[in-house]
Amino acid sequence: MIDDKRLEAEMDALALRFPGPGGVAGVVSEGQVVALRAWGFSDLDTRRAMTAGTRLPICSVSKQFTCAAMLAACGAPEALDGRLAAHLPNFEGPLPRVRDLCNNQSGLRDYWALTVLHGARAEQAFSRDDAASVFMRMRNGHFAPGTRYSYSNGNFRLVSDLLEAFSAETLEALYARHIWEPAGMAGAVLTADTRQPEDGVVGYEGNDATGYLPADNGIYWRGDAGISASLDDMIAYERWIDATRGDPDSLYRKIAVPQTFRDGTAAAYGFGLQHSRVGDVAFTGHSGALRGFRAYRAYSAEARLSVVVMFNHHGDAHGAAHRLLRTALGLPHPAPQPLGERWGGQWMSRETGLLARLEPGLDAATLRFGTSPESLSQTADGGLASSSVTVARAGEDLLMQRAQENYAERLAPVAPVPAAGDKRLAGRYRSAELEADIVIECRDGGTYLWAEGFLGTGRPEIVQPAGPDIWIVVTRRSMDAPAPGDWTLVAERDAAGHITDLTLGCWLARGIRYARCDDNT
């Protein structure tokens, strides 16, 4: 039984614990709303209040709607397999299956991360044709289809394009007929153009330390994101999911079926849903993010419990939702424990080509490897872990396991280098894969990199030395949110010591090779 007073106290604390312009949250138990809250403002300049009826972008939470509509219209993803090659005309390796797209197992690099390397700036417009141009230039993936998990928004953009061609209907019509109308989501709409948000809602970048500024978005997206819905709409969705939980033809029940990798290993992601546990209770859910907005929803058929949290700022919607779930389940909130030893160092992953860096703290260590920093706590066996990764020492090496990605590797240590620029890195390099360039400039003691491609000329990013012939390039802002984050740049030299080639990659887009195309040696 839910402790109503404790849950209400947790709801009351959301605005202070996750500060920002505004937000909404709701908890549904056994089909009934047991807690609901809206606070703050949907527009600070006009002082328009945030309400349960304010429609906000649910961003990547849209992916499950795309997969459900696909199953309703096609029966199975295999019905679309024969259409995929036309959208990837220059792809040279084995094509993924559409099921791989739905499960984020395609190996396709994330197209939002690639926009940075095609020369895009964060605020510029990005059209439907631009998306097609990114896919047209793809020649290979960063792993073989079905062998690993890697988040790729383009997977679901492709599914939506395939679905519309197969059904001869718009995505909006498919969403409405198969999900919004049966669920009673009367206000849900597809706002593919982020320049025109519903209800005049404004998303904000920044925080209490820097202040809050309106986010300027210009992207056009559909399938991977794009739905706008109010808290009332999302509560209706959660109640519909719960009411149809015993129906074998329920669309949510179908997309919630656990998936596997090609080797038979169980996968934690499938059909736009992440499978996770809170305590001993299984949940399916998803996060969503756009510059200025954050969202999270989850449902447990076992506990008949749902949560929805949406912010018009960059607060931790996932963290807020999990506090509400733990409260509703009567679980204590985890208490930080001091680290038994000081963890710190950096290691190279041979498989991904990415640098892993551990930064020690008092009660947690920060791992910089994926898109966002991950906080790891001490485990009983002396290692470190979060919900998605475990690390342990093996001599000087680092053992890293990311079970949700079907990935485990022994990483080699990388010695740090002095914080000094290497002028031999300067020059222009070209990627045949992307048909785009990067330019590196060394000046006044600093090193900077920018990209030039079919989307324009990007802003210079700071290049930081990390190890012998290894650098870190950090992208903090991009078209999508969160931004790609840390890129690892690795140089290859000829016998004379001249840099001839570079490999650039981040967690979302790995192993992109560039060849020097100037004579600056």
Instruction: Cite the active site residues.
Output: 60, 63
For residue 85, what are the CA distances in angstroms to 96, 139, 441, 505? 9, 12, 38, 25
Which residues in 144-303 belong to E strands, given as ranges? 189-190, 204-207, 211-214, 227-229, 269-270, 273-278, 281-290, 293-300
Rounded CA separation 136/453 (Å): 14
Q: Which two tokens stand for residue 460?
A: 């210079």
Query: Which of 305, 426, 370 has the alpha carbon at shortest distance from 31?
Result: 305
* Phi, psi torsion values for 306, nearest 5 degrees: -130, 155
Q: Give the dihedral sign, CA 182/185/186/191.
A: negative
Identity of residue 12: D
Rounded CA separation 141/139 (Å): 7
Query: Which of 117, 158, 152 has the alpha carbon at shortest distance from 432?
Result: 117
Rounded CA separation 57/188 (Å): 10
For residue 84, what are the CA distances in angstroms to 100, 134, 141, 168, 286? 12, 15, 15, 16, 25
Rounded CA separation 94/86 (Å): 14
Structural contact between residues 18 and 257, judged by C-beta atoms closer than 8 angstroms: no
Which DSSP helix (H) or strand (E) runs through 42? strand 32-43
Rounded CA separation 447/461 (Å): 9
For residue 49, what are the CA distances in angstroms to 21, 41, 52, 53, 233? 10, 4, 10, 10, 18
HEC readout, 350-407:
CCCCCEEEEEECCCCEEEECCCCCEEEEECCCCCEECCCCEEEEECCEEEEEEHHHCE
Structural contact between residues 123 and 195, judged by C-beta atoms closer than 8 angstroms: no
Structural contact between residues 291 and 122, judged by C-beta atoms closer than 8 angstroms: yes
Helix pair angle (4-17, 317-328), 10° resolution: 170
Q: Which two tokens stand for residue 75?
A: 């029966």
Residue 312 per-residue DSSP state: S
